[in-house]
A and B are shown apart, each in its own frame.
Chain A
Amino acid sequence: MPQVVIDRSRCKGCELCFKVCPKKLLRRSSQLSARGIYPCEASDPTACIGCLQCVLVCPDVAITVEDDTDDEQPTRK
């Protein structure tokens, strides 16, 4: 199952990923990060379908998508 993982320390809170997620999983966290902004968080990381739209638009490479089923085969975007 794909799972979206967000690096809170790298997210700058631009929120560009919110719009592109087809499952609308991404939202603003209620916890401030060390940067002093509200970073992105996934409401249900396991509901991710692994489309990588959020990865494409993220300017800060703060989002990675893990998939335990095919560890050796990175999917071409």
Chain B
Amino acid sequence: MKYQPPHALQPVSTHYCAGCGHGVAHRLICEVIDELGIRERVLAVAPVGCAVLAYDYWNFDVTEAAHGRAPAVATGMKRCNPDKLVFTYQGDGDLAAIGAGEIVNAANRGELISVFFINNANYGMTGGQMAPTTLLGQKTTTSPAGRVARREGWPMKVVEMLTQLDGVAFAARCALHTPKHIRDAKRAIHTAFVTQMQEAGFAIVELLAACPVGWGVTPIQAIELVEQQMIPVYPLGVFKQASSPVSLPS
């Protein structure tokens, strides 16, 4: 067998739309968990949003937090179980809008958790409304003429914002639209878990994902939009790596 799905991923079909980036993100996290051999040690916190049913797809312990409160729940889980590896999986509506206070304060406290932040520039679950991460000019159901900076503000750059905080040990932004970018994202997810294992501090990985149905385009057009429109606004790369050097998988 040249490729086998990870054991940490349940062998079930997901409810995500065709071409949605969540499926790739789920699989990458599970592949890293299998490679690190930490499936029995991992605790996850699922968000409110499209990934609210993530516990049906992951073969490890997952809890559900109120909208935006995943970092606060994860803080409690990690402080009560310091030997466990705790991560949150949050969308942009969950993390950047209603949960902005929780994520900033969890990062500032340097909580030893890993955060995987799916940025698809809208509220996918409720039908494609404008999120803090929506691009300028992007049409959504609540910005039918396109987002205007003077009225709704600018796209929120969460990773750059959190990089300024001393408690953050690892901050990176990756995309999930081409095989190369997916490989880079897997390395970043690996580093986020290793950062937590080394107790170096808070780790966040932002993943730019396509939302074909929310954007009203085909899956192929959606991944082109990630390349042409999202990446110029949300530059990719590792913004901060304060942990001791980690060996990345080749």
Instruction: Tell me the A residues contacting B by CB distance below 8 Å.
Output: 2, 9-10, 12-16, 19-20, 37, 50, 52-53, 55-61, 63-67, 70-71, 74-77
Contact pick for B219, options A16, A61, A63, A75, CB 8 Å: A16
User: B232 on the interface (CB 8 Å rule)?
Assistant: no
A57 adjacent to B5 (CB under 8 Å): no
A64 touching B219 in the complex, CB below 8 Å, given contacts A56-B179, A77-B183: no
User: B14 on the interface (CB 8 Å rule)?
Assistant: yes
Contact pick for B2, options A20, A53, A66, CB 8 Å: A66
A27–B179 Cα gap in the complex (Å)?
18
Contacts of A14 in B (CB 8 A): 18-19, 212, 219
A75–B22 Cα gap in the complex (Å)?
24
B18 adjacent to A52 (CB under 8 Å): no
Number of A-B contacts (CB under 8 A): 81
A52 adjacent to B19 (CB under 8 Å): no
B2 adjacent to A59 (CB under 8 Å): no
Contacts of B182 in A (CB 8 A): 56-57
B interface residue count range (under 10 / 10 to 19 / 20 to 34 / 35 or more): 20 to 34
Interface residues of B in 2-29 (CB under 8 A from A): 2-5, 9, 13-14, 16-24, 27
Contact pick for B24, options A10, A59, A71, A77, CB 8 Å: A59
Contacts of B22 in A (CB 8 A): 59
- Chosen A-B contacts, 23 in total, with CB atoms closer than 8 Å, are A9-B13, A12-B19, A14-B212, A15-B220, A16-B219, A16-B223, A20-B179, A50-B2, A52-B3, A59-B16, A59-B27, A60-B13, A60-B14, A60-B16, A64-B1, A64-B2, A64-B4, A65-B3, A66-B2, A74-B1, A74-B3, A76-B250, A77-B186
